[in-house]
Amino acid sequence: MKQYWKDYQKEIADDNYFYVRSCIRQNFFPGAENLFIDILKNKLGKTVFEDAEHTTCTGIGYHTDVVPLETTMTVIARQFALMKEKGYRNMIASCVTSFGLYSEVLDMWKHQPELKEKIAGYLMEATGRTFEEPENMVHASDILYKYRNEIASIAKYKLINKTTGEPLKVVDHIGCHYAKTFPERGVGGSEFPQVLTGLITAWGGQTVDYPERRHCCGFGFRNYLVQPNRGYSISQSKIKLESMKPYEPDLIIANCPGCSMFLDRWQYTLEETEGAVYGTCGNKIPVFTHEELAGLVLGYDPWEIGLQTHQVPVEALLDKIGVEYNPDLKYTDRQGNLIGEPELINQHVC
């Protein structure tokens, strides 16, 4: 009996990971990556190594055509070289664009070995390094997917409305470069990816299918980064938000840092420019990354994991789940002192 895509499982290594960070996730969700590392090390007992010498994969530069193919390939080869040097075979990419790009580069090298040779030559010439392809290369959300049941078994909270007892309605948004580029590199293929629905279901929530589920969030690289082009970007997110609104989702999660950022920020912009609000009771819909969702159910402190950096306030959701938090510590530093002038932020919560 042929296996259907939605049941498709991919190989995910079970330990000894080499972790490469994401430019966007570090900038806009500064709590997320250390949280991910902490969950892996201290809750799941895994070995995760971060090499301080690693850099951006140049993905954003590649997709804005300011970094040519061979440069990107050589930078990626350098990442692999660092990994080899430290004795690791399994890579975790935090960024979805990186994950897609590593996949594409590995695929091109498979079909054009002479290109791989050429890149090896460039790397040697520029850095004196040699590289090996990883044995296993996955996205961070794949790891959480793999251990979703273990996390569920030690979770403090569930994705359930504590007042009504109903599972929360969660929209899962999959970054385009996760499975559209190589469906066999995504859990569940490209049409009905399971990597986030698996987490949602394991942690007590229910997923929402809506017509624009597969539509791109609209990052569009140059279509956001260059100011006059931003209309494209906001329009694509608006299409998604309008489509999901009737389903009254409690929360959105996304595995790509860009997607999380855009779905979060554009709700603010759409309210400012059009008065449009997509959640219930005049609220916006909170947007979480997969690490943040894991951190939430595991009982980490919301401000420790960076939820205060979201443009869409999260308090209403935290209250819905019954997560304990101290509102006074939201905009403070480690010592509990207020940072800057947070009163200018003026976020309203229903």
Partner 1 sequence: MEILRQIQADPRYDESCRSCLNCGVCTAICPAAGYFDYDPRKIVNLVREGDETTLTEIISSDLIWYCGQCMSCKPRCPRGNVPGILIQILRTVSINSGLFAKSGLGLQQLVLKRGIGHNILETGYCIHPTRVDPAVHPEQGPVWEWMSTNADQVYSRFDTGYDKEGPGLLRKISPKALGELDRIFDVTGCKELWRKIEDGAAK
Partner 2 sequence: MLENENHRIAVIGAGPAGISAAVTAAELGIDVDWYDKADQIGGKLNDYYQLFPDRTSAMNVLQEFDNLTGTARIHKHFGKAINHIEKNNGRLVLMSDHETVGSADSVIVATGFDFFDARNKEEFGYGMYNQVITSPELEQKLKTNPDSLKFDGEAPANIAFVHCVGSRDQQIGINYCSRLCCVTGIKQAIEMRELFPSCRVVNFYIDLRAFGSGYEELYREAQEKHQVQFIRGRVSEASENQQHRIVLKAEDTLMGRPLKITVDWVVLLIGMVPSCTQVQVADHQCTDQETGFLKAANAFTGHRLDGQPGIFMAGACGGPMSIPEAAASGKAAATEALQYLINR
- 55 is a contact residue toward partner 1 (CB under 8 A): yes
Of residues 13, 44, 60, 285, which one binds partner 1 by CB under 8 A? 60
Compute the C-alpha angle 327/347/30, nearest 5°: 70
Of residues 26, 136, 201, 243, which one binds partner 1 by CB under 8 A? 26
Compute the C-alpha angle 129/130/134, nearest 5°: 125
- 342 is a contact residue toward partner 1 (CB under 8 A): yes
d(CA 118, CA 124): 10
Q: Which does 2 bind (CB under 5 to 8 A by kind): partner 1, partner 2, none?
A: partner 2
Q: At what angle do helices 290-298 and 195-202 cross, to 10 degrees?
A: 10
Binding mask 181-220 for partner 2 (x = CB under 8 A): --------x-xx----------------xxxxxx------
Q: Which residues does 164 contact at the CB level (< 8 Å), separation at least 6?
A: none
Q: Which of residues 159-218 bind partner 1 (CB under 8 A)?
A: 176-177, 179-181, 183, 190-191, 214-216, 218
What is the nearest approach in angstroms of partner 1 to the Cβ of residue 102? Answer: 14
- 24 is a contact residue toward partner 1 (CB under 8 A): yes
Site stretch for partner 1 (CB under 8 A), options 153-161, 275-283, 318-326, 341-349: 341-349
Scanning the structure block, which residue is given the tokens 């990107």? 72
- 51 is a contact residue toward partner 1 (CB under 8 A): yes
Q: Which residues does 309 contact at the CB level (< 8 Å), separation at least 6?
A: 28, 29, 30, 31
Q: Which of residues 6-25 bind partner 2 (CB under 8 A)?
A: 6
Among residues 296, 297, 299, 298, the alpha carbon closest in space to that of 307 is found at 296
Contact (Cβ atoms closer than 8 angstroms) between residue 278 and residue 46: no
In 10 A of CB 320, how many CB atoms?
Answer: 18
Q: Which residues does 58 contact at the CB level (< 8 Å), separation at least 6?
A: 67, 71, 72, 75
How many residues lie near partner 1 (CB under 8 A)? 94
Q: Which does 334 bind (CB under 5 to 8 A by kind): partner 1, partner 2, none?
A: partner 1
Scanning the structure block, which residue is given the tokens 């510590």? 329
Q: Which does 212 bind (CB under 5 to 8 A by kind): partner 2, partner 1, none?
A: partner 2
Q: Which of residues 304-343 bind partner 2 (CB under 8 A)?
A: none
Cα 296 versus chain centre, distance: 15
In 10 A of CB 41, how many CB atoms?
Answer: 12
d(CA 29, CA 198): 22
Site stretch for partner 1 (CB under 8 A), options 7-15, 85-93, 140-148, 226-234: 226-234
Which of helix, strand or coil describes residue 294? helix
Of residues 9, 130, 149, 229, which one binds partner 1 by CB under 8 A? 229
- 31 is a contact residue toward partner 1 (CB under 8 A): yes
- 243 is a contact residue toward partner 1 (CB under 8 A): no
Of residues 4, 14, 113, 326, which one binds partner 2 by CB under 8 A? 4
Which of helix, strand or coil describes residue 241? helix
- 327 is a contact residue toward partner 1 (CB under 8 A): no
Q: For residues 75 and 170, which CB has a smaller minimum distance to partner 1 in the complex?
A: 75
The amino acid present at 150, given as its one-letter code, is: E
Site stretch for partner 1 (CB under 8 A), options 7-15, 60-68, 146-154, 199-207: 60-68
Q: Which of residues 288-307 bind partner 2 (CB under 8 A)?
A: none
| Number of residues assigned to the chain | 350
Binding stretches for partner 2 (CB under 8 A): 2, 4-6, 189, 191-192, 209-214, 246-247
